[in-house]
Amino acid sequence: MHDTAIHQVDNRYDLQEVNVRIFVFEYVTGGGMLAETVPASLTYEGDMMLRALINDLAEIPDLHLTTLRDARLDEPDWGADVHYVHNEDDFRRGWQELLGEADAVWPVAPETGDRLERSSRKVINAGKLLLNSRPDAVRVAASKLRTAVRLTQHGLPMVPTYALSECPRDHASCWVVKPDDGVGCLGARICRDEQELARMAAKESNGEVYVAQPFIEGVSGSLCLLCRDGEARLLSCNRQRVVVSNDEFHLLGCVVNGLTDGRAGYARLARGVAAAMPGLWGLVGVDFIVSEHGPLLLEINPRVTTSYLGLKDSLGENPAALVLDLIGGGELASVRTRAPAAIDVSLEAGHVA
């Protein structure tokens, strides 16, 4: 046995660490899609995030890192023990094995299909420390409708969000229709007339659930928050590079801390989101649009997001260490060294600068 103990008291954790084992699980590259052909773009983005997270954790003393790896992918050169999985049975066995050996688990999985919520519940049910948002918060954030209801109830500025079957038909402009539990730009498209709305509504007969939001002109942005117990510290205000092609949205990358105006207002927004969803924990992404009337929230991502790729270079701090500093119930760690720098993250070229 390794010399470590994790204690939970009043929903707070105390980690007494000597050779702490952390299982880092990225869904796409870790075998979650073994039964299908993985789009190259998803593999690429997942690999970049996993590499950055493991490299940051590897800088912290007394951590032993493990991860799962789809055997179809290239062999990585990361500072973690890699368990390769070849089929779905192998994946299930590997997950249980690494979960059983771990003291803590850091999942990076899509909310779609309740994947992140289920993984999170398995971690807690196994008595392990979950280095991510609590399952109940993930459940709310996984649904754009539930998120809109929760944030609106707390008086936060939200892009109006409707079930597709209930969106007002007298809207003067076009609509953005997207899966209720979708991730990022996947499945989101502009509908310009009743016929297009009807075509999207027909897909719901197959069990898919869609929401509609009015198309709002403005700058696409995101926040990266460090959250715990209803409190939040704003780490970055990011400008997202989103393009529309054939009425479909595509994320090309972002500039971490590329939004320099109005940071105090974004910090208030961050605190409001955390207060509205107190189960958010660790790193959390918040997507919004900067309209002519100010920022309007779009959705909450209760996990590591693409902005993580440039976060350390922007802050001059190790963001993984900031998350581990949350354990034990002390004050939220502060970013101490310097003013944040704007760091460009390109998903097209794998470039961070």
Examine the domain organization and report whether 75 and 203 are in the same domain.
no
pTM: 0.93
Phi, psi (degrees; rounded to nearest 5) at 333: -65, 145
Question: Which domain does 127 fall in, by range?
Answer: 5-132
- Quote the number of domains for the chain: 3
Query: Mean per-residue pLDDT for 78-100?
Result: 96
What type of residue sits at position 25?
F
Examine the domain organization and report whether 210 and 257 are in the same domain.
no
Q: Are 214 and 221 in contact (CB under 8 A)?
A: no
Please tell me whether residue 194 adopts helix, strand or coil conformation. Answer: helix
Per-residue pLDDT, 195: 87
Q: What is the pLDDT of residues 157-182, one digit of tens each?
A: 999 999 998 988 776 689 999 999 98
Examine the domain organization and report whether 174 and 316 are in the same domain.
no
Q: Are 222 and 254 in contact (CB under 8 A)?
A: yes
Say how many residues make up the chain. 353
Q: What is the pLDDT of residues 210-241, one digit of tens each?
A: 999 999 999 999 999 999 999 999 999 999 99
Examine the domain organization and report whether 186 and 229 are in the same domain.
no
Q: pLDDT confidence of 11, banded at 50, 70, 90? A: very low
Q: What is the CATH number of the domain that holds 31?
A: 3.40.50.11770
Q: What is the pLDDT of residues 244-268, one digit of tens each?
A: 999 999 999 999 999 999 999 999 9
Across-strand partners of 245? Answer: 248
Examine the domain organization and report whether 287 and 348 are in the same domain.
yes
Beta strands in the chain (DSSP E): 5-9, 12-16, 20-26, 63-70, 81-85, 104-108, 129-130, 162-163, 175-179, 189-191, 210-214, 219-228, 231-245, 248-256, 282-291, 294-301, 343-346, 351-352
Q: What is the CATH number of the domain that holds 291?
A: 3.30.470.20
Examine the domain organization and report whether 144 and 271 are in the same domain.
yes
Residue 298's contacts (CB-CB under 8 Å, 6 or more residues apart) are 144, 159, 213, 287, 288, 289
